[in-house]
Structure 1
Amino acid sequence: MTCPGTPRIYLQLRSTLTLLAATAAFAAGAAQAQPAAVSDDVVRLGLILDMSGVYADVTGKGSATAAEMAIADFGGTVLGKKIDLMVVDHQNKADIAAAKAREWYDVQKVDAIMDVAGSAPALAVLEVAREKKKIVVFSGPGTERITNDLCSPYSVHYTYDTWSLANTTARATVEQGGKSWYFLTADYAFGHTLQASATDVVKANGGTVLGASRHPLGSSDFASYLLQAQASRAQIVGLANAGGDTVNAIKAASEFGLTKGGQKMAGLLLYINDIHAIGLEAAAGLTLTEAFYWDMNDQTRAWSQRYYDKLKKMPNMSQAGTYSSVMHYLKAVQAAGTDEPTAVMKQMKARPINDFFASNGRIREDGRMVHDMYLFEVKQPSESKRPWDYYKLVATLPGDQAFMPLSKSTCPLVKKQER
């Protein structure tokens, strides 16, 4: 209320000042509501890998090099800010991996962890990322629990998983007549889930499982396990392990004459590094599933040659997946205009993935990156024309067939009507 004698010009001025103050307050509030463009003026990425153990050859320096290539190809900066990469060796210990993830998120201000080698360390880091509401992407570990019962709105399983490996390799093997199975299984989360997934596929397609032997991570002596496999008289010896364990098992099986006795081996997770270490004489005829092969097309060959020039060996699927996932993350940061996790993850799930690694790949609500998977057979020595020329393509499985359908998912993020 104003006095009758109050000048009109004063009333207009007071009204204008009030409007300006309200506008300023609204702008300040809006600014506070918007996330900072780039926290700490640096985008920090981390890799928690096996740099010296059983998975060093299939992740390790190769995955770190792939991430470095992606950062360099992106230009070294995003939103005008520097991109830093941090790498640590978890020594295949889940507690070390979890402690490092916590330190990185809390103290080092790492924005996203872009891979964790091994399923047990990966699951430990997954829980830290969930608690901190930070992004974590996996290309090295296999356990399907990452996008099933333990799924998180901040995690992505990028390259492969135990369900896709079992669904592709085991199904094709059973359909080709390999009805009875015996498993050599790594005694930890990855091996257990891989064996369980393969068992389901074998039985669903009319096969039987005659038994299994579990071995510790990093085994050097497979004699007793192979004797049990031979005694089972199973047609197929399924290898539910990875890295150095798979290499040692196949070499030992060759020495034991396992395949000469009529049994066949199916590698449920084999990398091209493993075939290189085993040699075609021992590995020829093996069937395996991969998400990537360097000699698929002009794009894969061009990128892989650049990688080879740095490390003098061809990349495997996890290393190629690391490059692709880092590029996809940085593109999402660019599109979101911030490194704030929720905004970035929204862009990661909204944007398709089209590069040398995947064609029309997409990240589902459960965090599974869906893309084609490939069934290969290892060439005979006489079929190989040059170094690293190891595979011949048997079949391509579209992503919607290769990975667990949402209707079977127990991920709480999946809408009920889609189950």
Structure 2
Amino acid sequence: MKRIVTRIAATAAVVLMGTGAGLAQDTVKVGLVGEMSGPFAQFGEQFLGGLKAYQAINGTEAGGKTVEVIIKDVGGPNPDVAKRLAQELIVRDKVDVLTGFGFTPNAAAVAPIATEAKVPMVIMNAAAEGLTQASDYMVRVSFSLPSLVPPMAEWLVEQGHKKAYLIVGDYRPGHDVEKAFLEAFPAAGGEVVGNVRTPLMTVDFAPYMQKVKDTQPDAIFAFVNAGDVMASFLKAYREKGLDEDEIVMAGTGDITFEPSMPAVGDAAEGIVTSYNYSMMHDSELNKRFVEEFHKAAGADVDPSIMGVGGYDAMALIYAALEKTGGDTDGTALVEAMKGMEWESPRGPISIDPETRDIVQNIYLRKVEQVGDKFGNVEFETIEPSQQ
């Protein structure tokens, strides 16, 4: 696999490097481990779009120092590669903060390295339950997948869809979702009539959809990865005629990933999901974020929760640097991050000081056509006090 290494820096940082003026003293280095190539390249595209949108709005300095981002391509769920890249970033590039991490296995593999080096790890996406327990230096600005499940389980039952078939990707986050739904759906008054784990990167969902069709539940609840996987999943749902059988499709927001919506078209229409962000979120900050994201990533690339993860990772790093006065000591930065509160394009968020995990709203969304594109339109908000 070819590894891509890219550096993003403000013009001021380039001048500083060009004149040889105190790079180590005046620059904070952030190492991003992301999926920049292969079937999950959209993840890295989202991280970069969000990161650049934040810097476009807020500049490239924090705590009196220029923030330089060094990007390394992990390609996909590759824990061994993630470990090697993190070690390179810490030992050779001498980064002050690690970030990125689209997949839980990658983040978990790097956690011991961050702990040993005392380098903060700000998670942009990896969403397994309790992930931040893997290192005292890990802080998460994405979400925990199991938290998304109860609101949707309850909504399905309230709508009269009391028999559900469960489909999840076969890795730790999928197992977390499976466990949460097997608990939450019966507790809400529903019955799980079948469930299956699918290979992480499969794009052949026809056999699974045929099994669902034969079972005839009221609804499917699904978690599969975004990108090409999600697009193939929804196409198989339509091609097998499950919508014609009035089998409702619902799940976590991964199955209606905004950047993949053009490839899916109206196959996503009407699907209901629970998630922590939609590009349709109604706030002035989100409108500005979407505008800057499109400038950074391209007008045809829409932001998703991963794009917001890129934005909020930088927001947290900047705020911590301001709080420490530019001190890049890892322990000091993590302490500064604990309890931090700010306004995100997704709404108000904060970092729990005990778990170092994010506290945020959950939104129920329905895919509708808005203008010339399909998007996730929020119709209900579940605040942290209701979760």
Q: TM-score range by the shorter chain?
A: 0.7 to 0.9
Structure 2: tracts of 5 or more residues without a match: 1-22
Q: Judging changes above 3 Å, is the alpha-carbon distance between structure 1 residues 355 and 151 closer, same or farther for their aligned structure 2 residues?
A: same
Max Rg structure: 1
CA-to-aligned-CA distance 1:286-335 (integer Å, 9 cap, x gap) = 11122222232222112211211232122112211221221221121121
Structure 1: tracts of 5 or more residues without a match: 1-37, 403-419
Matches within 5 A, 1:341-356: 341-356=330-345
Distance 1:130 1:204 in 2: 38
What amino acid maps onto 1:139 in structure 2? M
TM-score by length of 1: 0.80
Question: 1:251: Cα distance to partner?
Answer: 0.6
Q: Partner of 1:185 in structure 2?
A: 168
Question: 1:250: Cα distance to partner?
Answer: 0.8
Answer whether contact 1:42 1:83 (CA < 8 A) is retained.
yes
Q: Partner of 1:224 in structure 2?
A: 207
What amino acid maps onto 1:214 in structure 2? R
Q: Judging changes above 3 Å, is the alpha-carbon distance between structure 1 residues 71 and 309 closer, same or farther for their aligned structure 2 residues?
A: closer
Answer whether contact 2:220 2:248 (CA < 8 A) is retained.
yes
Q: Partner of 1:259 in structure 2?
A: 243
Question: 1:360: Cα distance to partner?
Answer: 5.0
CA-to-aligned-CA distance 1:236-295 (integer Å, 9 cap, x gap) = 22222121222211111101101111211113232222333311x211111112222223
Matches within 5 A, 1:132-143: 132-143=117-128
Structure 2 residue 291 is matched with structure 1 residue 302: no
What amino acid maps onto 1:160 in structure 2? F
CA-to-aligned-CA distance 1:126-153 (integer Å, 9 cap, x gap) = 2322333221111222211314xx3432
Q: Partner of 2:12 in structure 1?
A: none
Question: 1:40: Cα distance to partner?
Answer: 5.4
Match of 2:60 among 71, 76, 79: 76
Q: Partner of 1:11 in structure 2?
A: none
Question: 1:115: Cα distance to partner?
Answer: 1.7
Question: 1:377: Cα distance to partner?
Answer: 0.9
Q: Partner of 1:3 in structure 2?
A: none
Q: Judging changes above 3 Å, is the alpha-carbon distance between structure 1 residues 174 and 47 closer, same or farther for their aligned structure 2 residues?
A: farther
Match of 1:275 among 261, 266, 284: 261
Distance 2:322 2:65 in 1: 11
Q: Partner of 1:334 in structure 2?
A: 322
Question: 1:173: Cα distance to partner?
Answer: 1.7
What amino acid maps onto 1:386 in structure 2? G
Q: Judging changes above 3 Å, is the alpha-carbon distance between structure 1 residues 240 and 129 closer, same or farther for their aligned structure 2 residues?
A: same
CA-to-aligned-CA distance 1:9-40 (integer Å, 9 cap, x gap) = xxxxxxxxxxxxxxxxxxxxxxxxxxxxx965
Q: Partner of 1:95 in structure 2?
A: 80
CA-to-aligned-CA distance 1:29-52 (integer Å, 9 cap, x gap) = xxxxxxxxx965421112211222
CA-to-aligned-CA distance 1:372-418 (integer Å, 9 cap, x gap) = 12111111xxxx3423452332210102334xxxxxxxxxxxxxxxx
Answer whether contact 2:28 2:328 (CA < 8 A) is retained.
yes
Q: Judging changes above 3 Å, is the alpha-carbon distance between structure 1 residues 360 and 225 closer, same or farther for their aligned structure 2 residues?
A: closer
* Percentage identity across paired residues of the two chains: 24
Answer whether contact 1:289 1:375 (CA < 8 A) is retained.
yes
Q: Partner of 1:409 in structure 2?
A: none
CA-to-aligned-CA distance 1:143-175 (integer Å, 9 cap, x gap) = 11314xx34321122122212221232232223
Distance 1:385 1:70 in 2: 26
Structure 2 residue 134 is matched with structure 1 residue 146: no
Q: Partner of 2:189 in structure 1?
A: 206
Q: Partner of 1:371 in structure 2?
A: 360
Q: Partner of 1:400 in structure 2?
A: 385
Answer whether contact 1:328 1:348 (CA < 8 A) is retained.
yes
Q: Judging changes above 3 Å, is the alpha-carbon distance between structure 1 residues 400 and 125 closer, same or farther for their aligned structure 2 residues?
A: farther
Q: Judging changes above 3 Å, is the alpha-carbon distance between structure 1 residues 364 and 208 closer, same or farther for their aligned structure 2 residues?
A: farther
Q: Partner of 1:30 in structure 2?
A: none
- How many pairs were matched up? 358
Q: Partner of 1:245 in structure 2?
A: 229
Pairwise CA RMSD: 2.2
Distance 1:359 1:39 in 2: 34
Answer whether contact 2:167 2:220 (CA < 8 A) is retained.
yes
